[in-house]
Amino acid sequence: MKKYLFEGLVIFSSVLLSLYLGNLNQVASNVDKKNAYLKDLIKTIDDDIHQIESLLETLYQSEEKISSLQNDIDQQHQLLEDKGVTTQLIDIEVGFSFFPKDGIYNQMISTGAFELINNNDLKNNLLEMYNHQKARNYATSLEIDNFNLMFRRIPYQHFRIRFDYNLLNGEFYGKRQLTQYTFDRKFYLSNNFYGLLSQAKLYSNMYKRQLSDILKTYKQTQLLLK
């Protein structure tokens, strides 16, 4: 009887030990996967930070061009030549949007690796970046994109602009080179065109503020990851 009891205890203990060791191995494997994801996330966030900073620079340059055109209009087109106005006009960009790379984050959520992050500040930042800020960015970008379609169409119709397109130049979508235009002085000095420029600058300011908030969160997260 004692022999059978002893053998039973040995078998039971072996099963428990096996389960315990298997659980330890699974936990270690999950932690290794989580750490690998976090290393990949550092690279992803670095890329996104570069994208945001490039977008902010584009918006700053566009606002300078808008101010230059409005200053010229205020002075009845005495500050700039026709070609200078048209060149600056086609260089104004307020419709570029930020597209976050959220693939690694989504993998962490689907595999359960996100729950293995111990740093609550890091977890909160990631949730903020890929949920609330992402939704706000999408909504604002959609509104600006709709305006940009109209902003692009009206000046191009009035100024009869033609350009060559250098696909490899420019940070995002290449760069235009003015080749031909017909300058519409009446439209250029009109309240309608002045208002379009003001609206474009307003949207640029709005998106700059939002991108600055997103950039702050991304940089904080970058430090927490590293």
- Give the pLDDT of residue 10: 52
- Per DSSP, the three-state class of 102 is coil
- Give the pLDDT of residue 149: 85
- Give the pLDDT of residue 4: 52
Report d(CA 11, CA 1) in Å as an integer: 15
pLDDT in tens, the chain (226 residues): 555 555 555 555 555 545 544 554 455 556 778 788 899 999 999 999 999 999 999 999 999 999 999 999 999 999 999 999 998 998 898 888 899 999 999 999 988 888 888 899 999 999 999 999 999 999 998 899 889 888 888 888 888 888 787 655 555 556 677 888 889 999 999 999 999 999 999 999 999 999 999 999 999 999 999 8
Cα separations in angstroms, 195 against 153, 157, 202: 15, 17, 10
Say what the pTM is: 0.80
Domains in the chain: boundaries: 2-225
* Buried/exposed code over 42-77 (b: 16+ C-beta within 10 A; e: otherwise): eebbeebbebbeebbebbeebbebbeebeebbeeeb
Q: Where are the alpha helices (DSSP H) in 76-172?
A: 82-91, 103-111, 120-127, 133-159
Cα separations in angstroms, 82 against 92, 99, 183: 16, 36, 6
